[in-house]
Amino acid sequence: MDVRPNHAVLDMCAAPGSKTAQILEALHANESEAIPDGLLIANDADQARSHMLVKQAKRLQSPCLMVTNHEAQQFPNIFFAPKGSLDASVLQFDRILADVPCSGDGTLRKNMPIWQTWTQGNGNALHRVQLPILLRGCSLLKVGGRIVYSTCSFNPLENEAVVAGALKVAGGALRLVDVSSELPQLVRRQGLSTWKVQSKSGEFYSKFADVPEAESVGLLPSMFPPENAAELNLDRCLRVYPFLQNTGGFFVAVLEKVASYGALDRIPGNEPNVELEATAEEKEETETKEATTVELDTSSINERKRSQDDDSNRSAKRTRTETEGSSEIVKYKSAAAWEGRESPFVFLNSDNQELMGMREFYGLDDSFPQEQFVVRSEKDNYRTVYFVSRAIKNVITASNSFRLNIVNTGIRIFTRSAGNDTGAECPFRLSNEGLATIGRYVSGKRVVQVPMSDIVTLLSIEYPKFTEFGEELQKKLTEMSMGSCIIKFDPTLEKNYTGSARSTILLPIWRAHVSVSLLLNKQERKSLMHRLTGEDLSIQGGLDNNAGGGSTEGESQKAAIAGETEPTTESVA
């Protein structure tokens, strides 16, 4: 896909999220930039799988990710407000991945049920879903952009036939990219130019014109090999067979958009208006319908198509209003989350008093974006402050963003401290989830560089007192005011270091009166200890005896404060 940090990327059928994670890693490839200019919208049609996708992607802690819940072939057009800072008036993507629903017969070595359930009708039915998905992706793609179409199937009706159908409908606006020189160690075969289509009665046909009317039920012209297969360069598609390198079976086609295709490409790039948007929506709907009905009966129901999408979810609406302090609010009911409850996105103004207090306490650098903090409540007693990239904010505040069924976006940066009387100057503590993004912008007054010995103490003792650390850390903790701060460990500065972790590690701690608490749960502690030392962790103070996942950040903080006078030996989970 050749994803770069400044690209806008759409993963049309993203769950369970392994490919999404790889795209996110590519967006963050430039380690000197904590917040890339690009974005990734990871979409899936299945509600439950959308939540699985969130869990998978959350571990990468990116402010550039948005998870949505739509049928891929019906992904909405998103128009930016006239006052938006982006050049284009409509959201289009530099890269799109269409890893479409398929019969999965390429996985038959590990997926035993396929041996009992496979029929030739599977591919015939899925072809009706796959081609509209690819066509929709091509419409959402920028001119000059790439879309990767892939399946884990051998069936040419799900593969070359779909690609050929899209090339035919696009009328020269798309071309297959020759990627034969990419990934030279991957053994592959060329795409097919000829194949036969089997009818329900078991007969095989090479041309749709040869199919008797009685045999044509369920068959479409787009399923058959095109007469101009050589001109389409179908041999540029990639086929990966299990016997080549002991893998699963895959099909991949890389297409580039070389000319305008669809109504979105004809929209002027300056100051869109409602009339223009409505016109574009009409054209897009008409063109999509015409394009697909040439080859497909789009009203037919695919027996294998996901059926969990609730029509009522499509009526979910959001409204944008202005509240005191000029915070921008976007209300919506997500199709795949929040169980129908209002979950607004409220962007905090830079002059918000609590936000100003956080910036002052943590000494946030002025270069850190101040207008991309968002909360999920209209009330003032919000518990968590999230952060999104500029590109994601532009999508959320787009003029018709109510059309997006957003499941999740943003990373947690600050969390309101447990209890009302913590004694800290700032009521918000740093969240581990957001340290990779905000850590480099926090002032040195709340960041402490520590050696390996102090890290081991933090990991192995539940509530270590200042006196249990080295002299340098003792001094800094004594001089520091009560509240949240960051522990920084650089493995490259350690002599005789043998751990597997090689990059700088940032950890959130709570500095209480005479002790500290590492705001990580038991599993995170154990994992980190093993990466640093290769040893199993035994935590003193009772946390290791917890049969669950360990204490949360808030519970660790409360226990640290409560345990100042008499250290606890009980589980805090």
What pLDDT shows up at residue 556? 53
In contact, 290 and 122? CB cutoff 8 Å: no
Rounded-to-integer distance, Cα 573 and Cα 559, Å: 10
The confidence score (pLDDT) of residue 419 equals 63
Residues of the chain with pLDDT under 50: 82-88, 270-281, 287-342, 545-551, 559-573
How far apart CA 424 and CA 336 sit, in angstroms, is 38
Per-residue H/E/C for 289-320: HHHHHHHCCCCCCCCCCCCCCCHHHHHCCCCE
Name the token pair of 18.
Answer: 């392994």
What pLDDT shows up at residue 267?
Answer: 64
CA-wise closest residue to 188 among 256, 229, 237:
237
Residue 426 annotated as part of some ligand binding site: no
**For residue 364, what pLDDT is reported?**
94
Quick one: which of 398, 484, 423 has its CA closest to 448? 484
Was 14 annotated as part of a binding site? yes
In whole angstroms, give the CA distance from residue 376 to residue 384. Answer: 8
15 has binding-site annotation? yes
18 is annotated as contributing to ligand binding: yes
Q: Which among 232, 230, 226, 233 has a CA at the least distance from the CA of 295?
A: 226
Helices (H) and strands (E) in the chain, counts: 15, 23
pLDDT score for 107: 93
Phi-psi region of 325 (alpha: psi -120 to 50; beta: other; left: phi over 0): left
Residue 301, amino acid = I
For the chain, which domains are there? 72-295 (3.40.50), 312-416 (no CATH), 443-562 (no CATH)
Q: What pLDDT sits at residue 553?
A: 55
Find the Cα–Cα–Cα–Cα dihedral 403, 407, 413, 414, rounded to 10°: 100
Asked if residue 96 lies in contact with residue 148, where contact means CB atoms within 8 angstroms, the answer is yes
pTM: 0.81
Q: Answer for the pair 374, 392: CB distance below 8 angstroms, yes or no.
A: no
pLDDT tens readout for residues 85-127: 444 478 999 999 999 999 999 999 999 999 999 988 899 999 9
- pLDDT for the residue numbered 334: 36
Q: Which two tokens stand for residue 190?
A: 């060329």
Q: Where are the alpha helices (DSSP H) in 110-252?
A: 113-117, 120-140, 160-170, 229-232, 242-245
426 as an active site residue: the answer is no
- Name beta bridge partners: 266: none
Determine if residue 13 is labeled as part of a ligand binding site. yes
Is residue 306 within 8 Å of 336, Cβ to Cβ? no
Quote the CA–CA distance of 302 and 309 in Å, as a whole number. 14
Name the amino acid, one letter, at 469: F
Catalytic residue among 64, 152, 237, 485: 152
